[in-house]
Amino acid sequence: MATISILPNGSTSGNPNYKGNTSPEKRGETKGWTLQVSRRLRKWFYSVDTTQLTGHGLAFTLTVRYCPETSDEWHKVRKAFAQRLVRKGLIRMHWLTEWQRRGVPHLHGVAYFPAGTIHQIEHEWTQLTSKKYGSAIWAQKVTEVTGIVGWLDYLAKHSTRSAVHYQRSPENIPQGWQKTGRMWGKYGDWPVREPMSFQVCQQGFYAYRRIVHKLRVAGVRERMASAFQHANALAAAKPHLVTPVNGEMHLQNDSDVHDGQKIKNYLSTYLNAKKELTSTRRLLKNNDSDRSRYKGTSNWLDQNDSIKIIAHLASSGYLVEQIE
């Protein structure tokens, strides 16, 4: 019997007959983003109950000019920043550390405060870091998170990056750091739900994998099509800017910079999704028959859609039992 776990924003499945790594390394000093760290972050994202995210949310990207000499210094800065926000009424905060190409850390996150309050968290950051680490107010980015849509935008940006993304690559870890410390964490009251778990027969497990795999492929294709259509539409309106997808960017004057950058972003989304489509198609393939037979899944999937798939399996005659 395989196990399927359903969370508010995603689902996982696996088979206990597949043992995977039977002698995993013990967790020790954290040394950057690993596959395990990324998986734990994604699983926590799955569990957040978006309907209970109350308050006024702010998503932020905070930078410094000069790199802290050690990860302990960076940890102290991040902790002091969080304490400042707590004194301002912080309800909850999620944060994660990533690297710039020049080997300097920066902080991404989202912070929630009581509704109706105004906070300029970029000023809190620069007051804390400008003197020693050279941070400037113009280099910080803070945007409002509006309801569930805003939270999902935050998820879309930070949950899909793997450990090989350049902002998480070990090649960009600051020189001299012997360790990195925790790569992500949270403060305050986060509304999370425990997973709903089901046991299904092996044939039902195969059917479930096929369904979620097709949904995942369809989602990537939809992103590709949307990005391509937006790029084409904008380029058609301003044909002097770009030849869609394979052309060069030709900006005529400063007033075109904004639209030109939008087209670049659409094309980048399209090309990234195209690469993702190739890897997504191969997700369930493996030359090892045991791995192929028992390989599990982990997907972004709305809880209601996951329950519909379980109901479909049961109505199709597969053995499905809920685990209390």
What are 72-119's pLDDT values in tens digits? 999 999 999 999 999 999 999 999 998 888 889 999 999 999 988 778
Specify if 33 maps to a domain: no
Q: Are 93 and 111 in contact (CB under 8 A)?
A: yes
Q: Which residue has the higher pLDDT, 120 or 163?
A: 120
For residue 58, being part of any structural domain is answered with yes
Identify the residue with better confidence: 30 or 146.
146
The predicted structure's pLDDT at residue 210: 92
Last residue in a domain, options 167, 188, 209: 188
Residue 124 contacts residue 113 (beta carbons within 8 Å): no
Report which listed range, 98-102, 212-216, 255-259, 271-275, is most confident: 212-216
Q: Whose CA is closest to 78, among 55, 99, 95? A: 95
Which residues span the domain enclosing 249? 2-22+196-323
Cβ-contact 18, 290 below 8 angstroms: yes
pLDDT of residue 149: 60
**Average pLDDT of span 25-52:** 79
Dihedral sign from CA coordinates of 187, 193, 198, 202: negative
**In whole angstroms, what is the distance from residue 276 CA to residue 31 CA?**
26
The domain boundary, picked from 171, 188, 205, lies at 188
Position 137 scores a pLDDT of 93
Average pLDDT (183-194) is 91
In a 10 Å sphere around its CB, with 0-12 CB exposed, 13-18 middle and 19+ buried, how is residue 274 labelled?
middle
Q: Which of 188, 205, 228 is the last residue of a domain?
A: 188
- Calculate the alpha carbon distances from 193 to 48, 81, 89, 190 in Å: 7, 28, 24, 10
User: In this prediction, what percent of the chain has a pLDDT beyond 70?
Assistant: 82
In a domain, 40, yes or no: no
Please tell me the predicted confidence (pLDDT) of residue 249: 46
- Average pLDDT for 284-291: 78
Listed range (84-88, 199-203, 252-256, 277-281) with the worst mean pLDDT: 252-256
- CA 78 – CA 213 distance, rounded (Å): 38
Please give the average per-residue pLDDT across 167-193, as a whole number.
Answer: 84
Looking at the fold, whether 168 and 59 belong to one and the same domain comes out as yes
Report helix, strand and coil shares of the chain as percent, to nearest 5: 45, 20, 35
Going by DSSP bridges, is the β-strand pair 105-113/92-99 parallel, antiparallel, or unpaired?
Answer: antiparallel
DSSP string, 184-215: EEEEE---B-PPEEEEE-HHHHHHHHHHHHHH
Supply the CATH number for residue 168's domain: 3.30.70.1910
Residue 234 sits in the same domain as residue 316 = yes
Q: Is residue 37 part of a domain?
A: no
> What is the domain count for the chain?
2
Look at residue 268 in the predicted model and tell me its pLDDT. Answer: 78
- Do 181 and 232 fall into the same domain? no
Most confident of 20-24, 255-259, 307-311: 307-311
Question: H or E stretch including 73?
Answer: helix 71-87
Lowest mean pLDDT among 154-158, 193-197, 199-203, 260-264: 154-158
More confident residue, 118 or 164: 118
For the beta sheet containing 320-323, the strands, ordered from the edge strand earlier in sequence to the opposite edge, are 297-300, 10-14, 2-7, 196-200, 320-323
**Are residues 13 and 59 both part of a single domain?**
no
Which whole number is the average pLDDT over 25-43? 75
Do 215 and 290 share a domain, yes or no? yes
Round to whole Å and give the CA distance between 30 and 150.
30
Q: Are residues 60 and 116 in the same domain?
A: yes
23 or 269: whose pLDDT is higher?
Answer: 269
DSSP states of 250-283 = ---SGGGHHHHHHHHHHHHHHHHHHHHHHHHHTT
Q: Please state, in angstroms and rounded to a whole number, the distance separating the CA atoms of residues 320 and 18.
A: 20
Confidence bin at 157 (pLDDT 50/70/90) = low
Q: 253 and 213: one domain?
A: yes
Do 276 and 168 share a structural domain? Answer: no
232 falls within a domain: yes
Give a yes or no: residue 315 inside a domain: yes
Q: Distance (Å, rounded) from C-alpha 80 to C-alpha 183?
A: 16
Answer yes or no: do 170 and 65 share one domain.
yes
For residue 29, is it within any domain? no
- Specify whether the CB–CB gap between 54 and 193 falls below 8 A: no
Are 184 and 202 within one domain?
no
Report d(CA 303, CA 98) in Å as an integer: 29
pLDDT value of residue 223: 86
Is residue 32 domain-resident? no
Contact (Cβ atoms closer than 8 angstroms) between residue 17 and residue 215: no
CA distance 5 to 272: 29
The yes-or-no verdict on residue 177 having pLDDT over 50 is yes
Nearest to 119 by CA among 171, 81, 156: 81
Backbone angles phi, psi at 244, to 5 degrees: -50, 135
* Average pLDDT of every residue of the chain: 82
The answer on 183 and 200 residing in a single domain is: no
The pLDDT of residue 164 is 57
Residue 1 has pLDDT above 70, yes or no: yes
Same domain, 250 and 232: yes
C-alpha span between 301 and 303 (Å, rounded): 6
